[in-house]
Chain A
Amino acid sequence: MGSFRYLDHTADMGFVARGETLNEAFEEAAKALFNFIIDLKRVKPEKELQISVEGDDYESLLFNWLNELLFQAEHHRMFFSQFKIEYLTPRRLKATVWGETMDRKRHQVNNEVKACTYHLLRVEKKGDNYEVQAVCDV
């Protein structure tokens, strides 16, 4: 089972996400990001989107994955709540994500996230699990 927790960053938002596989850790990272913006339980996974990003290593891939999600959310005016990584190498990630069109009446937005940063960014294997960490500008 994957999980995530938030770090106590003074001005911005950071999180550590864990998974039994690297795929799961990346999925949890995306959940941590969107859960900070809005209560995930309120976002119906009714619309589906394919995401594909490239990187030079797992860290830059994580950076590009999270920033791609932020861009696509703004572009499609959606919130995302479910994430499935289909393919993951240090250079390429493909995923299917699900979410719902923004509805100002139903969606209580808690925060805006401007972008994911390179600060304290890491992707690591810890024992049997994988752990990823990121700090986002709020």
Chain B
Amino acid sequence: MKPDYLIQESTFKFIIKKSFRAGMRVDGVIYADEELVAQADRDRALEQVINVAFLPGIVRASMAMPDIHWGYGFPIGGVAATEIEKGGVISPGGVGFDISCGVRLIKTTLNAFEIEKHLETLARALASEIPKGVGSRGKIRVKRKEMEELMVKGAKWAVERGFGSQQDLEYIEEKGVMEGANPDLVSPRAFERGEDQPGTLGAGNHFLEVQEVEEVYRAEIADKMGIFKGQVVVMIHSGSRGVGHQICTDFLRVMDMAVRKYGYDLPDRQLACAPVNSPEGNNYYQAMACAVNYALANRQCLGFLVSEVLEKVFGQGAEKLGINLLYDVSHNIAKFEKHEVNGELKQLCVHRKGATRALPPGHPELPAAFKETGQPVIIPGDMGRASYLLVGTKQGKETFYSTCHGAGRLLSRKQAKKSIRGEKLRQELEEKGIRVVAGSTALLAEEAPQAYKDVSKVVEICEGAGLSLKVARLRPLLVVKG
């Protein structure tokens, strides 16, 4: 049952009118079906959509994608844009602790049947070569001076260090470098935490998967992206590690004080924010950009490590194996973007907290290869079912070209651990032909497919709502978890 304050505007679009609660500056808009919206109501996610509508300078609506669930401050799946000129704010809570957490999809020209007999070796090699888990250290060590360079140059730093090719940069959001980064605003603690973490996966829901393209929905688009049925691809889900966590923590304290200074009345302390055009807002943006660049560099290093493992296991070079980056995109980020609001082009600060940018065909920021297709959108699902490759649409304009970012959790970690046995799950997955390398069986249970919503349904709703289109479904063959 949907709560009665929700107005169903169309099949997949629900509205919470701004008149519903004093203090809301815009409507809340949830893209979902009746079942998902009811789920969002059972946890506190709808409350969070309402809270975000309080942010000073917010335009159009406080939006949520179909993978909406209870977060902290913003709901996961939340999208909110503020108008910079009109005192619009930037909120670290609208980006999260894992700044620029995101996904990259690497193509190969291998067929799934060709790797079957190598999977065991591949699993062992990836497990030993890719640093993962709590407290893991990478082989790539970066001292202060070089770290400053990394924080300014992002993936470009990695490429210059020999991790990957110049061509990769073309296929990373922002061409691998977020402008406006200023390492002077990053605390010594954040520097320290980042020292040995480039090229490390992390823990929790971060993962690396070797996948098979199981189904192609739009052959013409897939073809232009170099995607074909039966193809082996590698998906990497990771972020800015300790650097992002520390920068967010540091600036939450700053923003907590700014809320009092600017006299904001906010329903959740975690929504702490300051005008983009203020010392606090400006400083946060410049520090956040450092963490974004750290994440881009991290995923570039991880991609390079994966490529090395594949080359070693198959005894062939990257070119021969057709290893190429398809795309790399963040789903926890705030960016300055120009969008039309009430018929006028405005400079906005767009927060995507568990939402993915999805540019339409013809957008000027797209690399030449995707001018006709639109931007590839990579959606990690769960380890037992599927992940998806989507593409942006013109209709995405209404969400500032944003779509979902994953399946979205259904069960809490506590519920998952209570109802799912890690070892049994491992067996079940293996019977389905999915090999799993995981740090612990408890983690396995928490990250079980049953703990997540059905990602297929989430991407269907995104398509039904016109926010993105399905290009291909990807099935896991090998899962590496923190």
Contact = CB atoms under 8 A, between A and B. Distances in A.
Contacts of B189: 71, 75
B73 A117 contact: yes
A108 B440 CA distance: 7
A117 B414 contact: no
B336 to A, nearest CB: 25
B248 interface: yes
A87 interface: no
Interface string B414-431: 110000000000000000
Contacts of A10: 43, 45, 69-70, 409-412
Interface in A63-100: 63-64, 67, 70-71, 74-75, 77
A114 interface: yes
Contact of B269 (A108, A110, A111, A121): A121
Contact of A118 (B76, B269, B440, B443): B269
Interface residues on A, range: 35 or more
Interface string B229-272: 00000000000001001101100110011000000000011101
A8 B269 contact: no
Interface residues on B, range: 35 or more
A79 B46 CA distance: 36
Interface in B37-82: 43, 45, 69-73, 76
Contact of B70 (A11, A77, A137): A11
Contact of A37 (B45, B134, B193): B134
Given A115-B245, A115-B248, A110 B442 contact: yes
Contacts of A48: none
Contacts of A11: 69-71, 76, 409, 412
Q: Chain A at the B interface: mostly helix, strand, loop or mixed? A: loop
A60 B134 CA distance: 26
A47 interface: no
Contacts of B410: 10
Contacts of B272: 118
Given A10-B409, A59-B269, A60-B253, A111 B193 contact: no
23 contacts: A8-B414, A10-B45, A10-B412, A11-B71, A12-B72, A56-B257, A75-B189, A77-B135, A102-B135, A109-B135, A109-B439, A111-B203, A111-B413, A117-B73, A117-B270, A118-B93, A118-B270, A118-B272, A119-B72, A119-B268, A135-B72, A137-B96, A137-B97
Interface of B: 43, 45, 69-73, 76, 93, 96-98, 133-135, 189, 192-193, 202-204, 242, 245-246, 248-249, 252-253, 256-257, 268-270, 272, 409-415, 439-440, 442-443, 446, 482
| Shortest 7 CB-CB contacts between residues of A and residues of B | A119-B72, A112-B203, A118-B269, A119-B270, A117-B72, A118-B270, A114-B97
